Amino acid sequence: MKVLLARITPPCTDVTRFVSESMDRTLPVLTRIKLRLHLMICEGCAQYRQQLLALRQALQRSASPSQDQRQDEPPLSPADQARLKEAFRARRD
C-alpha cells in the first residue's frame, strides 16, 4: 500500500513546499489530497509539518502577549536564543 501511495504522491521536496504554502493559502483540492496521502506514509514530512505548526504557534503567541504576561518582560537573552537555535539545528539532523 505504501509503495502505491508513494508513486501517486509528490516527492518530499515538493511536499515540504506544499506544507509551507498551505499555512498561507488554500491549496487546490487535488494537491491537498496528495499532500494528506503523503503525510500518512512519510514520517519525516509529517514531523516537518508538526514542527512548522509549533513554530507558527510560538510566533503567534510572541506577537500577541496574553493578558497574564507582563508587557515589560524582556526578550530572550542571547544565550537562550543560541540554545534554541542549536536545538532546532539538532532536530533537523
Please give the model's pTM, rounded to 2 decimal places: 0.62
Q: Is the pLDDT of residue 7 over 70?
A: yes
Instruction: Supply the pLDDT for residue 77.
Output: 85
Q: Has residue 2 got a pLDDT over 70?
A: yes
Q: For the chain, how far is it from start to end, CA to CA, in angstroms?
A: 28
Let me know: does 12 contact 44? Beta carbons within 8 Å.
yes
Give domain limits for the chain. 1-62
pLDDT at 52: 94
CB distance 12 to 43 below 8 Å: no
**pLDDT score, position 45:** 95
Query: How many whole angstroms separate alpha carbon 7 and alpha carbon 38?
Result: 10
- What are the tens digits of pLDDT across the range 43-90? 999 999 999 999 999 888 887 765 555 556 677 888 888 888 888 888
Q: Find, among 53, 43, 55, 47, the residue nearest to 85 by Cα.
A: 55
Question: Residue 87: its pLDDT value, please?
Answer: 85
